[in-house]
Chains A and B, each alone.
Chain A
């Protein structure tokens, strides 16, 4: 019997790490691809320069905790001649999301200013940001928010002329009056 118990013990010793690994694998966080992200709306209409805020909701519907996530906002131009630099639209485009427990959700706010006129899609990408998953795929993408930005002429020569002319003329008159008064007290 004794050799049998030794054999069983050796087998157990050999398979225990695998078992542990298996159990830890069974308890491993849910891959980011299982997380869901949505916007509070799917369309925005505004004029050039308009500011608005989009809310995203990130939910962990799975049965295990997620890794830390990095949420990143992007703006894509749907108008070919309009170039978009997302940095100009929103200063804070990357937000970190802590681990989400099963069923937990979190909301993120994105302040955006429309700096170009045209048609655009705004979307959020979730990237794994854990110690072992950072830089690994796959990514999760939100549905896009379609943005229509109406152009408007924000500056025209005619609009500035009153100030451009009146201010120096007024100040010139004041300066001349001061000079005239100074001569008068001679």
Chain B
């Protein structure tokens, strides 16, 4: 090699660190602008609010609703907020890398000195913004449904804590799927199928069958576990610490999926998906 090769300087290393520290914020800021100012974000949230309004109005017009049913109405609203908020978050993250590949804009991003880890961090933050906006929109509905039964604060805190855990875990999974999918269609299809599989058990008419096996399944599934925890506290009146074991799988999902995303980013955030050694 030529003797003109230069060694890394301290200034160069500092600049690289500064670029990375700024880089994820710049990526997140632009992605959020693309989503909320120039994109589909406002329409998605508008549709979401229409859905919540419908559910809230139906609950209020049920004159026979008793105290318990009102608590269940709050629970239903919160669970719907988590479900729809997480759904949209997952769709946004599933488009994060595979969509850029198909639109031809990923190469320009890869040509900047921002590290791959900073790129996925920025995209993760932008995807999470969808969840947070959906949650903020949900708060007035929780207030109006829950003020009569004194569970507003509880519902808001529960939703924020548990919903954020689920949204973060699934957003990280969505980005992972997006990174390795060969096309955007595949990424979206796999992500939506995953979400359906995770939410399906919660829609069984009488819940999961009894037994240790189904109990283990419910705890392993981060979505069913999180929703079970919410119900236990809101409807059954359990203390927050009583069912903490149900939060293990949502936390594990965040740690494993998020950790895999950050650790593997240099290998999977590439111009072509699924090409080894590229």
Interface-located stretch among A10-18, A129-137, A168-176: A168-176
A38 within 8 A of B: no
The interface residues of chain A lying within 8 Å CB-to-CB of B144 are: 159-160, 162-164
Docked pose: A96 CA to B45 CA in angstroms: 50
Specify the main secondary structure of chain A where it touches its partner. helix
Give complex CA distance A48, B71 in Å.
12
A160 touches B145 (CB 8 A): yes
- B140 on the interface (CB 8 Å rule)? yes
| Shortest beta-carbon distance from B74 to chain A in Å | 10
With A91-B239, A159-B144: A154-B49 Cβ-Cβ less than 8 Å: no
Of the listed stretches B61-69, B84-92, B169-177, B202-210, chain A binds B61-69
Complex Cα distance, B238 from A87, in Å, reads 10
Q: Could you count the A-B residue pairs with CB atoms below 8 Å apart for me: how many are there?
A: 94
What is the CB-to-nearest-CB distance from A96 to chain B, in angstroms, rounded to a whole number?
A: 16
Contact A156/B60 with A164-B53, A171-B42, A178-B37 known, Cβ cut-off 8 Å: yes
Contact across chains for A165 and B49 when beta carbons are under 8 A apart: no
User: Is the Cβ of B56 less than 8 Å from the Cβ of A91?
Assistant: no
Say yes or no: A171 contacts B57, CB within 8 Å: no
Chain A CB within 10 Å — which of B60, B141, B143, B239 has the most? B60
Chain B facing A: main interface SS: helix
Contact A164 B56 (CB under 8 A): yes
- Closest chain-A Cβ to B141's Cβ sits at a distance in Å of 6
Assembled-state Cα–Cα distance A162/B43 (Å):
21
Asked if B49 and A167 make an inter-chain contact with CB atoms under 8 angstroms apart, the answer reads yes
| A181 contacts across to B, CB distance below 8 A | 37
- Provide the bound-state CA to CA distance between A164 and B177, in Å: 37
> In residues 131-145 of chain B, which contact A (Cβ within 8 Å)?
137, 140-141, 143-145
Q: A-contacting residues of B (Cβ < 8 Å)?
A: 36-38, 42-43, 45-46, 49-50, 52-53, 56-57, 59-61, 65-68, 70-71, 73, 137, 140-141, 143-145, 147-150, 236-239, 242
Residues of A within 8 A of B (CB): 48-49, 51, 87-88, 90-92, 113, 115-117, 152-157, 159-165, 167-168, 171-172, 174-175, 178-179, 181-182
Q: 12 interchain pairs (CB within 8 A)?
A: A49-B149, A88-B68, A91-B239, A153-B148, A155-B145, A160-B56, A167-B137, A168-B49, A171-B45, A178-B37, A181-B37, A182-B38
